[in-house]
């Protein structure tokens, strides 16, 4: 048996955003770092390989298809270009870390054998790695609902598998009306697929205000997406060239045929096979690695970053996790997850929906007296950019504290919303009043100058 042993000052399990950031910083300071990633297709983590980068690149490519372009040819070419991009990022991430004298990247599955030790590989090629400090950064994995026939269906695809297929499904069924499901519905409809989206709740985006959710649904249905809310899936039956999704709605049974069935019902922390019990690392009832506000696990020398710790599943949260851990390792040890204020989110449909802070419902439930500024994009005179790029659909809504004039939250459904929301979030963190944002000077023509108009439409909504 060829059983080698390595020791690391910092051992990182998983090549996600948070872990690789800590690895690079600590390696740059001369610490010996070993990073273990189970797949050679995941160097850099979810975002550059199967998440943010490829999906948002597909958003871009789908929007460029002209009416006369062959849907299949355009899609196949787009997938090829996106895969070339992700391959470039993947190799860049690997070389960037493994090229450092102090950092070693190892490909294989790591399993704890005790609180300071993991093994990688098995049989005659086992590697034992010990670490003074250990970071768990293994991300998350798709959840497949327990629907008869679904898990064994030959037409079932996860988002990872769908974006790598070069055949555009003529008919696509999407199970789940959350951010992932809605993004993929928008992407594949614009590529030319007939899309049916199933949501068990009475409406999509149940966490948003009714007017915002209705505006989103209107855009998606206007694009030709069939949205079936209140749907209870009964079974999935495979045929020779397609699957039949059988569901119940309002007491009646219905069926939809599809060449591909995408499951978009959420993701869970990827902890299977890690051997956390051997390390004495506790998990929560939902399977996430249990951490405190400093991201320390039940073993103080072991940290968990990113999706695996059960926090918000966003790359930028994983990046902020790295700041918290680095502050523990080489800083003052004060930074915590409770420091996060006004964290924005974006649903990359077309146009995108970007949100931050409280909804109107949440603000009123929290006891705030609120005033609302809301306007359809098509009516915002100070936003000619929407007309320039020929995308005037959507709306903007601000929830404002009636007493302090501070912004409590915003929902921006418009072109460039993913950028504008960062300005709003920064304003919220620094307690900038709505009037200041309204009267600020913005470049022209830009999307941000819409704030000049929208924040002038304030009405009270605190009855």
pLDDT digits (tens, 9 = 90+) for 170-222: 999 999 999 999 999 999 999 999 999 999 999 999 999 999 999 999 999 99
Mean pLDDT of 450-463: 83
- Give the pLDDT score at 331: 96
At 121 the three-state DSSP class reads coil
- Give the pLDDT score at 126: 86
At 48-89, the pLDDT tens digits run 666 678 888 888 888 888 888 898 998 899 888 988 888 888
Residue whose entry in the numeric block shows the structure tokens 């497949």: 144
Residue whose entry in the numeric block shows the structure tokens 């918290």: 324
- Give the pLDDT score at 329: 97
At 244-274, the pLDDT tens digits run 999 999 999 999 999 999 999 989 999 999 9
Q: What is the 3-state secondary structure (H, E, C) of 282-297?
A: CECCCCCECCCCCCEC
Q: State the pLDDT confidence band at 131, using cuts at 50, 70 and 90.
A: very high
User: What is the overall mean pLDDT for the chain?
Assistant: 92
Q: Is the pLDDT reported for residue 295 higher than 50?
A: yes
**What predicted TM-score, i.e. pTM, was given to this entire model?**
0.91
- Give the pLDDT score at 50: 64
Pairing state of beta strands 345-347 and 353-357?
antiparallel
At 394-440, the pLDDT tens digits run 999 999 999 999 999 999 999 999 999 999 999 999 999 999 999 99
Annotated catalytic sites, by residue? 444
Q: What percentage of the chain exceeds 70 in pLDDT?
A: 97
As beta bridge partners, residue 199 has 229
CA dist 189 and 178 (Å) reads 16
- Give the pLDDT score at 124: 65
- Give the pLDDT score at 123: 62
Residue whose entry in the numeric block shows the structure tokens 């910083």: 25
At 328-351, the pLDDT tens digits run 999 999 999 999 999 999 999 999
CA 368 to chain centre: 30
Contacts of 211 (CB under 8 A, 6+ apart): 374, 395, 397
CA dist 410 and 428 (Å) reads 10
- Decide whether 4-139+268-339 matches 156-265 in CATH topology: yes
- Give the pLDDT score at 1: 45
Q: Is the pLDDT reported for residue 149 higher than 60?
A: yes
CA dist 231 and 250 (Å) reads 8
In words, the CATH class of domain 156-265 is alpha beta
Q: Is the pLDDT reported for residue 463 higher than 60?
A: no
What ranges do the domains of the chain cover?
Answer: 4-139+268-339, 156-265, 345-460
**Vertex 419 angle, CA 42 and 345, to 5°:** 60
Contact (Cβ atoms closer than 8 angstroms) between residue 297 and residue 281: yes
- Give the pLDDT score at 400: 97
Residue 239's Cβ-count burial label (10 Å; 0-12, 13-18, 19+) is exposed
**Vertex 11 angle, CA 329 and 35, to 5°:** 120
Mean pLDDT of 293-312: 96
- Give the pLDDT score at 64: 85
Closest CA to 180 of 171, 170, 191, 188: 188
- Give the pLDDT score at 193: 95
From residue 73, alpha-carbon distances to 65, 68, 70 in Å are: 10, 11, 5
* Segment of 69-73, 156-160, 296-300 carrying the highest mean pLDDT: 296-300
- Greatest Cα-to-Cα distance within the chain, rounded to the nearest angstrom: 75
- Note the CATH architecture for domain 345-460: 2-Layer Sandwich (3.30)
Fold entry, domain 4-139+268-339: FAD/NAD(P)-binding domain (3.50.50)
């Amino acid at each position: 048996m060829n059983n080698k042993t390595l020791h690391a000052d910092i051992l990182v399990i998983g090549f996600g955003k948070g872990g690789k950031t800590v690895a690079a910083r600590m390696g740059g300071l001369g610490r010996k770092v070993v990073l273990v990633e189970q797949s050679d297709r995941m160097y850099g983590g979810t975002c550059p390989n199967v998440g943010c980068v490829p999906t948002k690149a597909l958003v871009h490519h789908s929007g460029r298809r002209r009416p006369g372009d062959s849907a299949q040819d355009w899609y196949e070419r787009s997938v090829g270009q996106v895969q070339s991009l992700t391959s470039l990022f993947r190799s860049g991430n690997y070389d960037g870390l493994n090229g450092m004298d102090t950092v070693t990247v190892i490909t294989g599955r790591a399993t704890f054998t005790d609180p300071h030790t993991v093994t990688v590989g098995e049989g005659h090629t086992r590697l034992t790695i010990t670490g003074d400090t250990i970071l768990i950064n293994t991300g998350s994995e798709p959840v497949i609902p327990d629907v008869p026939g679904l898990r064994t269906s030959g037409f079932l695809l996860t988002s990872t598998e769908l974006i790598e297929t070069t055949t555009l499904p003529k008919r696509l069924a999407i199970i789940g009306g959350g951010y992932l499901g809605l993004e993929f519905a928008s992407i594949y409809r614009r590529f030319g697929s007939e899309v049916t989206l199933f949501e068990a709740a009475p409406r999509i985006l149940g966490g948003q205000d009714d007017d915002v959710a209705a505006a989103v649904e209107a855009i998606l249905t206007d694009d030709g997406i069939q949205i079936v809310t209140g749907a209870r899936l009964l079974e999935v039956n495979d045929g020779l060239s397609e699957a039949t999704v059988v569901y119940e709605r309002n007491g009646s049974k219905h069926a939809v045929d599809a060449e591909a069935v995408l499951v978009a019902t959420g993701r869970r922390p990827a902890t299977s096979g890690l051997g956390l019990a051997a390390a004495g690392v506790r998990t929560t009832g939902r399977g996430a690695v249990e951490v405190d506000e400093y991201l320390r696990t039940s073993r103080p020398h072991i940290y968990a970053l990113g999706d695996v710790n059960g926090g918000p599943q966003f790359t930028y949260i994983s990046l902020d996790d790295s700041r918290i851990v680095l502050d523990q390792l080489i800083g003052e040890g004060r930074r915590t997850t409770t420091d996060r204020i006004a964290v924005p989110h974006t649903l990359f449909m077309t146009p995108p929906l970007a949100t931050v802070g409280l909804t109107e419902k949440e603000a009123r439930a929290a006891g705030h007296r609120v005033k609302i500024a809301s306007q359809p994009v098509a009516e915002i005179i100070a936003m000619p950019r929407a007309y320039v790029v020929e995308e005037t659909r959507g709306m903007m809504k601000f929830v404002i504290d009636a007493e302090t004039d501070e912004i409590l939250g915003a929902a921006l459904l418009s072109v460039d919303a993913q950028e504008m929301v960062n300005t709003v979030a920064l304003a919220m963190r620094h307690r900038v009043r709505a009037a200041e944002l309204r009267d600020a000077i913005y470049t022209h023509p830009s999307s941000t100058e819409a704030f000049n108009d929208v924040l002038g439409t304030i009405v009270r909504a605190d009855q």
